[in-house]
Amino acid sequence: MFKLLKYSLYDIVKSRFVILYTIFMVLVAVSIYQVSEDMGKVSLSLLNIMLMIVPLIAAVFATTHFFNNLEFTELMLAQPVKRRDVFLSQILAVIIMLSASIFVGLGIPMILWGADTTVITLLVIGIALSIVFAGLAFLASVLTCDKTKAIGISISFWIYFSLIYDGFVLYLIYSLSDYPLEKTTLGLVFLNPIDLGRIIMLMQLDISALMGYTGAFFQQFFGSAKGILLSTSMMLLWILCPNILAMKIFRKRDF
């Protein structure tokens, strides 16, 4: 598997997309650091950009990589190589490169301008979201043989979790505003990896007072050992489930 992983990494680097992505992240981070010296504001600005851009790029790039390497994948499947190793080499290469781009793209400005725990948390959330949406993209890719349709499904995942889901939650809260919805809202947050990352980050920034009673409830929950353990476990589930499901379908798919 390591030889397959090495080839996949080399192929991604040769495409130069990761290099451009890294440069883009550096430019975004540097521009934000230049505007404000307040680490809280810097983290909040980077969070807003990351929650929109990182999942989209991860979804599109992972889908494109899967279909661009489809001939190589079919060739490897014709050899005495385990399907699991072929799949893992492809997904791990994408995850490693996307994570490296975020780590370097934000890490360099962090070293130059300084960083606190909130920025480090932001870095971890960005890498986690990259893994989640890369897994969702691979899941979309193994469900269809059409590249265009797979990209459409991947983008649909991003649109749903970034825009539609939040609209549904806001409508639910507005419609049932007369009832206590703290625990319900908390449960809905766990069903969206982007919202989960956003809430964890906002609690780190200690701005729950601006969110009213619900914010205070979230602060109390996510600030406790139980809340940290549960939120971390849910993010791990979001990381593992799409990738495991995609691998199972890949092992049974007839190429």
DSSP 5-44: HHHHHHHHHHH-HHHHHHHHHHHHHHHHHHH---HHHHHH
Q: Are the C-beta atoms of residues 198 and 49 closer than 8 Å to each other?
A: no
Contact 129, 239 (CB under 8 A): no
Yes or no: say if 101 and 25 are a contact pair by the CB < 8 Å rule. Answer: yes
Q: What is the mean pLDDT of residues 203-217?
A: 56
Is the pTM higher than 0.85? yes
- CB 55, CB 133: distance < 8 Å: yes
Least confident residue range of 11-25, 70-84, 200-214? 200-214
Q: Report the Cα 40 to chain-centroid distance in Å.
A: 22
Q: Which domain holds residue 184?
A: 2-252
Q: Identify the pLDDT of residue 240.
A: 94
Mapped onto helix, strand or coil, the DSSP state of residue 179 is: coil
Report how many domains make up the chain.
1
- What is the structure's pLDDT at 8? 83
Query: For the residues 27-36, what does the mean pLDDT come to?
Result: 83
| Cα 199 to Cα 18: distance, rounded to the nearest angstrom | 28
Asked if pLDDT for residue 102 goes beyond 60, the answer is: yes
